[in-house]
Structures are given as C-alpha cells and as structure tokens.
Amino acid sequence: MQQLTFDVEGRGAGTTHRLTSFNFGDPSARLRLYVQGGLHADEAPGMIAARMLCGRLEALEAEGRLTGHVCVVPVANPIGLSQFALGQQEGRFDNYDGKNFNRFYPDLGTGAIRRVEGSLTADIVSNVKTIRQALRAELTHWRASTPADRLRKVLMSLAIDADYVLDLHCDGEAEVHLYTQPAFAQVFAPLSAHLGARAVLLAEISGDYPFDEAVARPWIDIARAFPDVPIPLSCASSTVELRGRKDVDRGVAERDAAAIVRFLAHQGFIDGELDPLPEPLCEATPLAGSEALVAPLAGLLAFTRDLGDVVLADEIVAEIVDPLSGAVTPVKATTSGVFYARADTRIAETGKRIGKIAGKQPYRDGLLLSP
C-alpha cells in the first residue's frame, strides 16, 4: 500500500485542505480502478465503505492476489467536511458560492478531440494511450481558480487514467442504487447484483457534468467524433448510492467492501475463483423515467409506502399533514416502479423532493439529477 497526500489551497491566507489517497497493487498494472467516498461530505456511508475496502485490498496485496492497481480516496471532500453552520454539517454545497461539489467538472472531451485529430490509428492500444495523454493535457490546462475547482482538478487527476471509477454516495433514506451511462449497464451488472441494488439508473447526460460523467463521457464523445478508427470506451464509471445518511455501520460497510472486491474479481483485478453472481434484484431503467415526488404544500411528512416497494401509478406514497388544521393531502405516484429513495426529514416545504420511483418509461428531459 502506498499513501499519498495532496494539499488544496483554501480561501483564507495560509489555509489548506489535505486529500489522502491509498494505492494498492502495481501502479503500472494494465487494469486500474479509482474509488472515492464522501464527495458530498455529509454522506458518510461511502466514506466508511471506502475505508473498509482499503483493509481488504491491503490483505489481497499481501497475499499477492491483486493483479490490477486500485486507488482509494475515502474522504474526497475535505473542504465540505470542514463546513458547519448552526451545528449542522453542510457537505453537499460549497458554502462560498453554493455550487454542488458533485457538479461542474470540466468537459475534457471537446479539447481532447482537437488534440488527437490526425494522431489516431488502427492500433487500439496506441489510441487509448494517445487519448489518455490528451485528456491529461486538457486537465492540466484547465484553470481551476477556486478551492472547490482545485479539489475537482486533483480528484480528476487521480481518476483520469482509470478503467473503472466508483463514486460512493448515499441518499437521504434509500435502497442501494446506481447511476451510470447506458454503455456501461452490463459492466456494472455484477456490482449491482453483489450490492443488492434495487435500482440502476441510466443516462448518458444527466446535467451539470457530475464527476462520474466527467471522467467517462469524453471517451464516448471521442469515439463518436472518429467513427472510422477503433476507440474502446476505456473508462466505465458509476455513482453508487449506499442507502441513506444514517446507514453507517461497520458490518454493512464490510459487506459493501466485499461486494466491490467481488466486482473487481469479475473485472480481472484479483487472482482466484469468482464468487457466484447473485440473482439481480432489479433491471436497469432510464434516469429520465425516474419520478421525483414533490410536496405540493408545506406540512408534516408521513410515508405510506416503504422503501423497496413496487408502487403503481396513482397509488398514494406519502401524506402531507397540516399541523394546525389536521388536513391530510395525499402525494400520489404518477409512474409505476420501485420506490427506491426518500427524504430523511419529516417536515416538508412546498416543492420539496420527498421520494424517487424508478419507472421504466422515460418522460423527463433537461437536468435529471437533484440540485
């Protein structure tokens, strides 16, 4: 194991935020995985799972069974981890400018297309090397002027050469679910099965350029720009939502880490026999078909359906109770699917997103993720 640290200059004179990565296996290995937790720094399940993963990888390395290289960043957002207001941590948005830490990553594909034009050949291996050099060059020249952008740049520099990228998050209250691009649905099917995911949500463009898309989408864009040369999609990425904010448990995190290790084995990172693939608990569905239930008015929030339930269109999923009059307003699903996530607070304001249902039919466009 090799531990590396990176300093990110803060806003105040003399202030810095330190980022730590743990690296396992041969850095020159053919296969590379990047894993991070806590990009939204108020989401602890991903951080503890990443930490548990480090222990398993260290053991595999000591046994000589790790054939690929794995970089793990358990705490991907030291800036957000330091933000507190009125006794509460705010790790999703930068307190300075209000921007989501998992949005607004640079589009490296457009510039990389210009850089590789005329340099690609019929040699797949050579093309992958050329494209990765171009992506690194684009990232190097990206001007990151704020601490949050400098953090984004460091994180992308760690992931830019990876074949697989896992960004570990959680929701308010939720079943395990994954976000990825349609091209990678089959790639992450073993991970979904081993984690027991209840939803896998697919979108090539979800909006505002989150981390997982920023590292993978350039390969899709470059392949489309040069259809006459062989260009494999050499970075498959997924945002993995490990249940809800309160689901921080060492035993559960150990099982999540074990599931990730089994996924690694399926991808050829580990010597030894593969564990049997469990029966998947869901099929992939379009993110554009995921319904965000919205509170129509303010009041007390009471759910009438449990997470993991399959609900039908027009079924009541929650109720908003007026604490003064006692009036009850039902919130109904307009699509059928798995009720996979919901708010972790029980006081609703008008327009609050209170739950998510994984529907099979796309009906939304534009920005598909919550702010």
**CB under 8 A, 24+ apart: contacts of 300-305:** 300/346, 300/347, 300/348, 301/343, 301/345, 301/346, 301/347, 301/348, 301/354, 302/346, 303/342, 303/355, 305/339
Q: What is the pLDDT of residue 13?
A: 86
The pLDDT of 132-159, averaged and rounded, is 97
Q: Are 245 and 221 in contact (CB under 8 A)?
A: no
The pLDDT of 55-67, averaged and rounded, is 97
pLDDT at 328 over 90: yes
Among all chains, which residue has been given the structure tokens 């564990």?
275
Q: Are 58 and 24 in contact (CB under 8 A)?
A: yes
CA 30 from centroid of its chain's CA atoms: 23
- Band of the pLDDT at 368, cuts 50, 70, 90? confident
The pLDDT of 167-194, averaged and rounded, is 98
241-280: pLDDT as tens digits: 999 999 999 999 999 999 999 999 999 999 988 889 999 9
The percent of residues above 90 in pLDDT, for the chain, comes to 96
- Cα(135)–Cα(108) distance, integer angstroms: 6
Token pair belonging to 64: 């000589």
Q: What is the pLDDT of residue 250?
A: 98
Q: How does DSSP classify residue 328?
A: E
Q: How does DSSP classify residue 240?
A: E
Q: What is the pLDDT of residue 5?
A: 95
- Cα(252)–Cα(52) distance, integer angstroms: 10
- Cα(210)–Cα(81) distance, integer angstroms: 19
pLDDT at 366 over 90: no
For 242-275, letters b (16+ CB in 10 Å) and e give bbbbebbeeebbbbbbbbbbbbbbbbebbeeeee
Q: What is the pLDDT of residue 371?
A: 84
Token pair belonging to 105: 């990553």
User: pTM of the prediction?
Assistant: 0.97
